[in-house]
Amino acid sequence: MARQKIVVFEGDGIGPEIMAAGLDVLAAVTQGTDFTYETEFLPFGGQAIDQVGEPLPNNTINQAKRADAILLSAIGGPKWNACPKRPEDGLLALRSELGLFANVRPTVVADSQIDQSPLKTEIVRGTDFVIVRELTSGAYFGEPRSKTFDQAIDTMYYSRSEIERIMVYGFDLAQSRRQHVTVVDKSNVLATSKLWREVGQAVAQRYPEVMVDYRYVDATAMAIVADPTQFDVLITPNLFGDILSDEAAQITGTIGQIPSLSAGATGPKMYEPIHGSAPDIAGQGIANPISMIKTVSLMLSQSFHQEKLAKQIDEAVELTIRRGQVTPDMGGTLTTKEVTEQVMNAMQEGVFS
């Protein structure tokens, strides 16, 4: 396999702390294998605003387009909230420029982690679903949008083709899972959601083996905590997916362990934890690195077909969690670096190969 180019955005807040963890694990797991790669660190987000006054510099986007995969930790923070272009604007522009319309956010509660869930054991046991979030349209991108002292406008927009491609992505994914799709919308009120459901129903016809249900987003938010095991693949507009995925993360015990994948029709995929830059704990060395480590694992399996290496990482993470060698958000006392070392030790134990 040719040498792979991985573009790295270290990010802001806890970003560099967890990215270091992810890259250490990547180096360790690939050492001595025929998977070779180079990393290219590029300024992005708050870091780029500080360096060049712009969250997504031209060179950054140009290099990202040429990557084989992109790793991002998290961007943003109070320091840049008043900037004319915030780090978050850079993230939205990056997703849009790369055409990353499909964002997959998993929620899995392993038996070993049930005690960390705020939900009762009998409710949460067996939870394993993914949220397929539309990522490049909807309320985040619709025009017009404006804000003055007296009023503000956002536009929620969806075209049929934008909805169709995310539905197809989600139904395809369901075929490789438990063949159950939940189309999530607010079609009792919103025009975009009426179209969302209509297109969902049309695409569903092409997948007769997939069981489909249609749910309003408010009821879905409730069901995620009341009965999470009923879900397999949820397909949802951008804004609803943002909100539901943080809620879903919390039923695993912590958002500090959830990775995600963003894909377009062509071009490199991007991998990022779903959480933010956690300014409240930045610089303390206690950020949970597992989100980033799992993000690296997802990249190995989904961009580079290195399923075996990904499995080694996942099993080492699982063992580390089972041993309670975790950061405070998971009820432990270890630092980011210590958890990362434990994961690497678990990989070295070689019990998985």
Name the packing angle between helices 307-322 and 290-302 (round to 10°). 160
Name the one range near ligand NAD by CB under 6 A: 155-163, 209-217, 283-291, 314-322. 283-291
Question: Is the CB of 24 or the CB of 88 nearer to ligand IPM?
Answer: 88
Binding status of residue 256 toward ligand NAD by CB under 6 A? yes
Query: For ligand NAD, which residue of 168, 279, 301, 337 counts as binding (CB under 6 A)?
Result: 279
Binding status of residue 134 toward ligand IPM by CB under 6 A? no
Binding status of residue 82 toward ligand NAD by CB under 6 A? no
Name the E strands within the chain. 4-9, 37-41, 69-72, 102-108, 128-134, 142-147, 152-155, 180-185, 211-216, 233-236, 261-263, 269-271
Least distance between ligand NAD and beta carbon 291 (Å): 5
250-279 residues near ligand IPM, rule: CB under 6 A: 274
Query: For ligand IPM, which residue of 16, 45, 76, 253 counts as binding (CB under 6 A)?
Result: 76
Number of residues that bind ligand NAD (CB under 6 A): 22
Neighbours of 108 (CB within 10 A): 14
Which of 222, 343, 224, 231 is CA-nearest to residue 292?
A: 343
Least distance between Mn ion and beta carbon 275 (Å): 8
Query: For Mn ion, which residue of 242, 256, 281, 319 counts as binding (CB under 5 A)?
Result: 242
CA distance 56 to 47: 10
CA distance 226 to 252: 14
Binding status of residue 17 toward Mn ion by CB under 5 A? no
On the 0-12 / 13-18 / 19+ scale of CB atoms within 10 A, 277 is buried
**Catalytic site includes residue 207:** no
Binding site residues, ligand NAD, CB under 6 A: 14, 18, 74-77, 88, 91, 255-256, 272, 275-281, 287-288, 291, 329
